[in-house]
Amino acid sequence: MSGAKTPRMEDKPARLTVLIDAEKKKAFEELCAAQDITASQVVRQLIRDYLAQHGVKYKPGRRGDG
C-alpha cells in the first residue's frame, strides 16, 4: 500500500459551469488579465463574499478557497 492519502470528498474541487454572454465573458477575462488575477480567483472571491453576506457558514477546503 502506498503512503498517499486519498482526498476526502470535501477536499476535492468541484466544477461550476456558468453560461454568460460571449461579450461579457471577453470583457471579464480582459479585466482579470489586466489586474493579473484569474477569472476563477475572482469568481471564488465573489462566492465567498456572497456566502458571508448571507451568513452562510461552510468548512473551507484545503486549497484555501475559504
Q: What is the pLDDT along the chain (66 residues), one digit of tens a residue?
A: 555 555 555 568 899 999 999 999 999 999 999 999 999 999 999 999 999 999 999 888 766 666
Buried b (16+ CB within 10 A) or exposed e, 45-66: eeeeeeeeeeeeeeeeeeeeee
List, in order, residues 6 or more apart from 44 with CB less than 8 Å away: 65
Element (DSSP H or E) covering residue 45: helix 39-53
Does 7 reside within a domain? Answer: no
Return the pLDDT at 60: 82
Return the pLDDT at 42: 98
Q: Are 32 and 39 in contact (CB under 8 A)?
A: yes
Does 24 reside within a domain? Answer: yes
Return the pLDDT at 13: 87
Return the pLDDT at 12: 80
Return the pLDDT at 65: 63
Does 4 reside within a domain? Answer: no
Domain that includes residue 35, residue range: 20-57
Does 33 reside within a domain? Answer: yes
Does 46 reside within a domain? Answer: yes
Does 39 reside within a domain? Answer: yes
